[in-house]
Amino acid sequence: MEWRERYERAAGRYESGETREADERQLVQLANAAWAAGLSLLMAGDRKAAGEWLRRAAARYRESWDAGASSEAWGRPIGAMKALLIAEDDAAGAARWALDAGAAEAESPIGRYAGVLAQLVLGRDDEAAALANTLGEGFPSDVTQALRALAARDAEAYRIAVDAVRHSFETREAFLEDLPAPDTALALDALAERRGLVLSPRAEAQLAALADVVAQLDAESIDHWLFGGWAVDFHVGRVTRRHTDVDLAVPLDDVPRVRALLERGGWRHAPDPEEDGGTSFEREAVRLELTYLVRLDDGTLATPLRDGPVAWAADALADDVCELGGVRSRVISRPALVRGKSTPRTNPDEAERDRADHEALRRADAG
């Protein structure tokens, strides 16, 4: 059966189920149908639509729990966390739900598994490692080893373990909703990507795009500096988390030339309605954020904003060059990066990324 056909069947079950009384049992069936629809679309290559269905599944799992599910129905928070992780969404709320429900202290291994997942989602790796050690021999050893590797941030151990998880899945004969999609491995990979243990297709595309843009800027002798999360990774020497875009600072006077070479390279101008001090371009799934630089009368480099220029630190934009995955780029200096990431921004999502970046730099400095 083709994935699109599986999606149509799952979506049909969901639509039919919505006409029935939304009791606890029916809500679980709706969650499972939405989960199947989302994974089917994901396997068919439609990530955006898949994310919508997976988020719907997570919401239905929570509704079913609140409607009177057994306190041992750990599959509900596990399903919600997996769905949100695979959808590349924030699973922190589902993780806190699991822990508030007592997953970390559960008598059953499946309950404690929910606790380990929740702690990994929340970045509590030391606690996750300790709890993973309590899962016991009755719990699938390949999954346990993958969880331990995630908590230890051990890329090689994780690769071996998740390969075993996938192999175990491929030898199974029965699947939830009769859907042969490796959901556990996909969710674990999402956690691994956030720890820089695997390179996702998105990260590969972003690195390739950066290599292309840097080569063009170098060829035109246009100054540029990589900053933000990717600059952290270039300094650390590995991908430490998922990135939504690539940030480059370029002189404002050179922007017409930059725009021309980007458009020749297939980039499309995609400005944010409220942009200030820069602009954006997109090519396929990669977003490039350009930040403008001007030189003030005293020689300081600054970004021109509507409310006035904001100066960069004197040591920020120098000649530091780092390499990652075979890509070389001039980057913002490490001291300036550490200082900038030490004070998280006010936006919650940005603050979470700033804390993760600062921790990655601290770990690298600690050896």
Residue 281 or 22, more confident: 281
Are 263 and 167 in a shared domain? no
Q: What is the pLDDT of residue 241?
A: 82
Give the pLDDT band of residue 1 (cuts 50, 70, 90).
low
Are 66 and 98 in a shared domain? yes
Number of structural domains the chain divides into: 2
Q: Which domain holds residue 217?
A: 201-366
Are 38 and 167 in a shared domain? yes
* Torsion sign, CA atoms 257, 258, 261, 267: negative
Are 227 and 91 in a shared domain? no
Are 23 and 96 in a shared domain? yes
Are 242 and 125 in a shared domain? no
Are 187 and 91 in a shared domain? yes
Are 242 and 330 in a shared domain? yes
For residue 21, what is the domain's CATH number? 1.25.40
Tokens of residue 18, six digits: 């919505």
Which is nearest to 330 in space by CA: 192, 261, 230?
230
Segment 307-333, tens digit of pLDDT? 999 999 999 999 999 999 899 999 999
- In three-state secondary structure terms, 213 is helix
For residue 273, what is the domain's CATH number? 3.30.460.40
Q: What is the pLDDT of residue 160?
A: 96
Are 161 and 278 in a shared domain? no
Domain boundary among 172, 194, 216: 194
**Chain mean pLDDT for the chain:** 93
User: Quick one: average pLDDT of 149-172?
Assistant: 92
User: Quick one: average pLDDT of 108-123?
Assistant: 96
The residue type found at 257 is R
Domain boundary among 194, 223, 253: 194
Q: What is the pLDDT of residue 47?
A: 85
Segment 188-247, tens digit of pLDDT? 999 998 887 888 888 899 999 999 999 999 999 999 999 999 999 999 988 888 888 999
Segment 201-210, tens digit of pLDDT? 888 999 999 9
pTM: 0.72
Which is nearest to 262 in space by CA: 244, 243, 286?
286
Which is nearest to 117 in space by CA: 161, 85, 73?
85
Q: What is the pLDDT of residue 282?
A: 97
Are 20 and 138 in a shared domain? yes
* Residue 231 · residue 239 · CB < 8 Å: no
Are 249 and 301 in a shared domain? yes
* Percent of the chain with pLDDT strictly greater than 90: 76
Residue 120 phi/psi, 5° resolution? -65, -40
